[in-house]
Amino acid sequence: MQISIPGQVVVLKKMLAGSATPKITPSRHCGNPYECIFFEYFTRDMPENWVMNLAGITQSKLNELTAMGINDIKDIPDSFPLSDIQERVRDCIIGKKEYISPELKSKLEDADYPTRETLSHLLQLIQAYLTGDQKRGDPSHHALQALRHDSEYAGNSGLI
């Protein structure tokens, strides 16, 4: 692979020296493994409801839609295979309406919300975590150590 690097450098320098913008079709490769720094530039003319923003859409389906000349979610035909949620999104965009699940009210009523005491204790833990002001004998010391470990793990693993 390294043998091709000098050749690639020549090609890239030629491209950068030119006045024409490369013809690049934005797709999933633009964010893999890192987001391309030119992504905004190459997507500036895409519609607000660009098909690539449709949650869970695969690259093969994006390719199909592109081949059909479809960039906007509202233009996806009913016959095009989408998941139930993707269909709901398309229908909401077409109808210019939001979707509220009929189950939302019951889910909110059944939810367990933290008490004031729990929130107060959590805020104290966060304050101690941020300031490093916890004592070894304090039961919250172990919770803070776990919180530090979890946040370091999440940060190192790319979760946050």
pLDDT at 155: 47
Separation CA 78–CA 67 (nearest Å) = 17
What's the mean pLDDT in 79-100?
95
Give the whole-angstrom CA distance, residue 110 versus residue 107. Answer: 5
pLDDT surpassing 60 at residue 93 = yes
Q: How confident is the model at residue 147 (pLDDT cuts 50, 70, 90)?
A: low
Residue 141 — pLDDT band, cuts 50, 70, 90? low
Is the CB of residue 58 less than 8 Å from the CB of residue 52? no
Question: How high is the pLDDT of residue 85?
Answer: 94
Residue type, 59: Q
- One-letter amino acid at 159 equals L
Q: Is the pLDDT of residue 117 over 90?
A: no
Asked whether the predicted pLDDT for residue 37 surpasses 50, the reply is yes
| pLDDT higher than threshold 80 for residue 50 | yes
Q: Quickly state the pLDDT bin for 133 (edges 50, 70, 90).
A: low
Cα 58 from chain centroid (whole Å):
14
Report if pTM > 0.85. Answer: no
Which range among 25-34, 37-46, 57-66, 148-157 has the greatest average pLDDT? Answer: 57-66
The whole-number pLDDT of residue 148 equals 56
Query: 147 vs 7, which has greater pLDDT?
Result: 7
